[in-house]
Amino acid sequence: MAEELVVATKNQGKLREIRGLLAGLDVTVTSLADYADAPDIVEDGDSFRANALIKARLIAAHTGKLTMGEDSGLEVEALDNRPGIYSARFAGEQCDDEDNNRKLLEELRGIPEERRGARYRCCIALVKREDIIAEVSGQCAGRISTEARGTNGFGYDPYFLIPEYGKTFGELDPSVKARISHRANALRALQEVLQEYFPAAK
């Protein structure tokens, strides 16, 4: 039976991507959806790294299992790297992706294309019981388009344009995104550690 890795998230889009990126390993990826009694996570860190550690430590202590805490978001140069760690709640605590994207476009109104540079950032912490096994990060540079393009992905993906492909994450084939995304780059940096715990699937 495959070993378990708990991903400390309720975000089904993130979970789907992580499962896809770890598909070559003999691992059962679970999430907070599988632990109804898990404590609420208060993401009050001042960085992606801090929030990833908060998630991983809390859920590892609760489950006793190897736990991945992941925090990621969008940094836009013209907005002084906002929304940053507030990416998921940019438009308010009860907002959804549509609300966040609307606020992003409003704040970038009138900003020319050459000043709409942005990057997705991802930090991952791997914790078992009280031990920090690894911390890694990854990023992906792009630009914010003026209109939604494509229906793949989630969050800001329909507006996050990759210039070398001429497509947004919403338009790119998921297999391409799985090679170049911030989350893919972070997990690639974590690959050697994960392979120690989870051998390649047969």
Which of 40, 44, 71, 131 is catalytic? The answer is 71
Active site residue 71: yes
Strand, coil or helix: 134: strand
Neighbours of 185 (CB within 10 A): 19
Taking the C-alpha atoms of residue 39 and residue 34, their distance in angstroms, rounded to an integer, is: 13
Instruction: Tell me if 186 sits within 8 A of 138, measured CB to CB.
Output: yes
Q: Which CA distances in Å does 168 have to 61, 68, 101?
A: 38, 27, 14
Helix (H) or strand (E) holding 72: strand 67-76
Q: Which residues are known catalytic residues?
A: 71
